[in-house]
Amino acid sequence: AHAPREALPPSGRRWPFRRLLALRPLGLDENAWAEVLEYLGYGVHRSLEFYSGMGGMASALNQAKSLYRVAEAYDMNLNANLAYELNFHIRPSCSSIENLKKRQLDKKARFWLLSPPCQPYTRAGKQEDINDPRSRSFLNLLEVLVTLDTPPDYFLMENVKGFDTSKMREFMLTKLRSLSFHIAEFLLQPKQFGIPNTRLRYYCIARRTKPFPGEVTSQINLSIPSMGSSTGQGMADSKATVQPPTLGEFLGKVLLKDDGKTDIESFLVPQRVLKRCGGYRFDIAAPWSRDSACFTKGYGTTHVKGTGSVLLLDEWRTNDRREEPRPPQCRILSGEERARFFTPQEALKLSGFPESYRFPPKLTHRQAWALIGNSLNVCVVANLIRFLHHAE
């Protein structure tokens, strides 16, 4: 498993990291080979992931084929940290982000990735914004950031729609500009990247290396400008009006089959819950649907209202492909209809995670759903990372 002699670089020179990735030995998958190269110190830069959760940002770095890898992660959720360690071989620190100091962060990484608590800015919350106690950790990070002797060159932050009109956003932008960051902001969702799921989120990307085009920095963008050609999952230009695939097509082999051989009972919405929700219009994800509702951390619990879509067994048992007229996606369920939740693996795929992602065996389905609901869409972030490093 050695490179051919004629393919070796001239003496005294080193190949670019991406060229080395292409020389992957037989028997090693791409991630394993990348880890070998990283261990040997080839072309890899360090990043820090704050509020790391189950590793959405780390997964996006991998999907974007970035030259950055997470060196340290921070989160206080023990279940999330177990999942993170299983998939990325890094144990996140449980240190309080609110109490992090300059000496712990200075000269540690060139790229900061973060997804702060969203509750201060959600429509359903009290909207206390910058005065909410849950904003303190992000405030501390920004205060520490401007004191660093060697601040990061890149910054990526994700949060809910609502952050874009917050006082915290203005505070963040002021701190970033004081360090000469060039800033671009976005409101994006997975459907723009070929994933049949709705999860509208605010994103801020910033870099100190080179300005973004003027039209990108003058507004909050509703799409990512074209980067020439599409790479990997998703589209290079999220403004393109490409219809997402149907859920039946998108889920493919990840779909849980109701064939009598699988444990489908553990994913059923309990009848007592359906009775208690009489008159409530559920978001029904059918095989022909090209959309599904955003997953929240309450998905799979008895609090089913507004936490995500459900599937009807009868529609999926036959992989119903009926033509018009089709029943409306949001409708009241009758007492005879049997509905189930998306499995964690199905929800992972709709959240852009790779099929290789695994949850620790000790986690229950509800705990896995909670982690997904608190995470982000990997595909959207991967496209933003590509754009952040494009044309430098």
As annotated, the active-site residues are 118
Q: SS3 sequence, the chain?
A: CCCCHHHCCCCCCCCCHHHHHHCCCCCCCHHHHHHHHHHCCCCCEEEEEECCCCCHHHHHHHHCCCCEEEEEEECCCHHHHHHHHHHHCCCCECCCHHHCCHHHHCCCCCEEEECCCCHHHCCCCCCCHHHCHHHHHHHHHHHHHCCCCCCCCEEEEEEECCHHHCHHHHHHHHHHHHCCCEEEEEEECHHHHCCCCCCCEEEEEEECCCCCCHHHHCCEECCCCCCCCCCCCCCCCCCCCCCCCCHHHHHHHHCCCCCCCCCCHHHECCHHHHHHCCCCEEEECCCCCCCCCCCCCCCCCCCCCCCCCEEEHHHHHCCCCCCCCCCCCEEECCCCCCEEECCHHHHHHHCCCCCCCCCCCCCCHHHHHHHHHCCCCHHHHHHHHHHHCCCC
Q: How far apart are CA 366 and CA 298, in angstroms?
A: 8
Residue from 51, 41, 44, 39 nearest 18 by CA: 44
